[in-house]
Structure 1
Amino acid sequence: MSNSTMASVTQYWPVIGHEWAIEHLDRALRHNRMRHAYLITGPGHIGKTTLARAFAAALVCTGEHAPCGECRACRLIAHSSHPDLTIIDSGEKGSVLKIEQVRDLQQVLSLRPYEARYRVAILRRFHEANPAAANALLKTLEEPTRDVVIILTAESTDALLPTIVSRCQPIQLRPLPLQTVRDALVERYDAPPEQAEMLARLSGGRIGWAIAALQAPEELELRQQAVVLLEQALQGKRRERFKLVEGMPGDKGALLPLLDVWQGYWRDALLLASGSQAPITNYDHAEQLSALAQAIGTAAAHHALDATCRTIVALGKNANARLALEVLMLDYPTP
């Protein structure tokens, strides 16, 4: 598909960036080659739910160009009130999606669509599903219904059953170009250019985080606190690190955003240690990151990044938060 044709397709989708994913889904719609299940993965705040909802709108849209955003079906999808759309998640981020929720969904999906061609189910943050819920959904995926489309979102496939992953069409979203984020903040959200530039760089290409930080400045403060806490931990020995852990929040809902910042910090350290010319996210801590990268090298930075990712997955599987953080501190290098 040419760039001009792709642009004509993506203009109808209420999604910033991810043009290749939109074109892929739009082509499946136009040629009536729908899969019964899709798995949208990518870092937090990158646009997974936004894409899933836009896809749901395209599936039930009655306008000339799907999703038109103007027909009754599209308006109902925008307000999560379409009778053929069901959205479930664990509630607060870091909680657990339970088997009862999946069973309730299965009952809904056993019914014929009320007014659209498909019944659509969006299961957000499915990496937070407990094993019983995941196994229950697997049965539905193994026996697909013709008029049902299931859309899962997850930050990665690491915490998902391989059998679930294999039964879904994968759509892996990647961070957007910083210029795309900056332009969206200026043109769609009236952000001053200098602020948009700063947020785009700090977002690392995660448009959702940039929008949230623009609309709620406390996001920037939380991010700064997380970076400072990590740098303090790296300066301390084991005892000092464990003392920091004692003062950290014990609930996953507060820990996961903090670990997300740490994950970005270690990614920056790995880029610098490996000599990459790619821009770093935490550019306002470039001096500290450069010193860290030089002191520990590529292997240690990679190990720390992997350890942070493992801890995020472990917390998603309901691991003990304090124990997981203490193990993480032991995995972190001492510059």
Structure 2
Amino acid sequence: MNLPGLENIDTPLILAPMEGITDTVFRRLCLSEGADAGISEFISSEAIIRNVEKSLRKMDAAHDAELRWVQIFGNNPVSVAEAAKVAEENGAHIIDLNFGCPVRKVVSKGNGAALLQNLPLMQEIAAATVKAVKIPVTAKTRLGWNLQSIVVHEAAQRLQDAGIRVLTIHGRTRAQQYGGIADWQPIAEVKAAAKIPIIVNGDISSPEKAMAALEMTHADGIMIGRAAIGNPWIFGQIRAALQNKDIPEITIGYKISTCRRHLAESILLKGERRAVVEMRKQYSQYFKGMVGFKPFKAELMAALSVDEVAGIFLKISEHYSN
């Protein structure tokens, strides 16, 4: 794939940008578990050019990775291009444009997946950004606004014409949000016609699904989002499957040690109280499917200090070792 840091990697495995999830610590964790790259939480173009501190912190956080891939959203070609220049000047290696976020507060302002209703503007934003920076520009989008408006084929052509280097497609419409089942067939059709690399995204939650997605779409890479939450080792498991190796089994001991590392690094970045509270959104996924975990989950959700969490981890370890 013709992107910095990914040139010699067959079928790159990429952590999707997720607001409130893919902070520095989580990206580092996924990279250590086999992800080839991770994209920053999305950042408003308007906030970047207005120097909003929170947004600038997100951009700076992207610099902790070897490959600095910064995602920007907006609906004004001038603002998005200017924000991309700021990101480039601050050390970004790749700019990703968000044309797929389905969240109401984003879409209601004409951003993210709303641009699937205005493909000429989407193309204009992409072209302006490509022209504004020297680094590669990629994009992420969906199949269309709804099932009656599958426009990804035209969107892909327009983005390719605008100079987008790589396109990621999530196999749902905006109306579907994250419900139903991702449809990879339109992605296969785009891939067959495209002259740029296509990355498949949506419902890739296991090595088996990753192999099925690649078989159907012949995509050049895989992007994983929600399936990586509390499950960072999914990248290593998929890589093993791609290489026809045994898929590593994740023990309860390894889950706990990974959780501890995640929390410890979050504390260094955010402070104890905030890190302990923010980790709550991860626990259900880290220990998903474990019979009898509900009481431990309740304790973890109530814990306010690292010492409390450490004590609960010890009880979990003892309980499942017996």
State the TM-score, normalizing by the size of structure 1: 0.37
Q: Which has the higher contact order (CA 8 A, sep 6+)?
A: 1
State the TM-score, normalizing by the size of structure 2: 0.38
Larger radius of gyration: 1
Q: Which protein has the bigger helix share?
A: 1
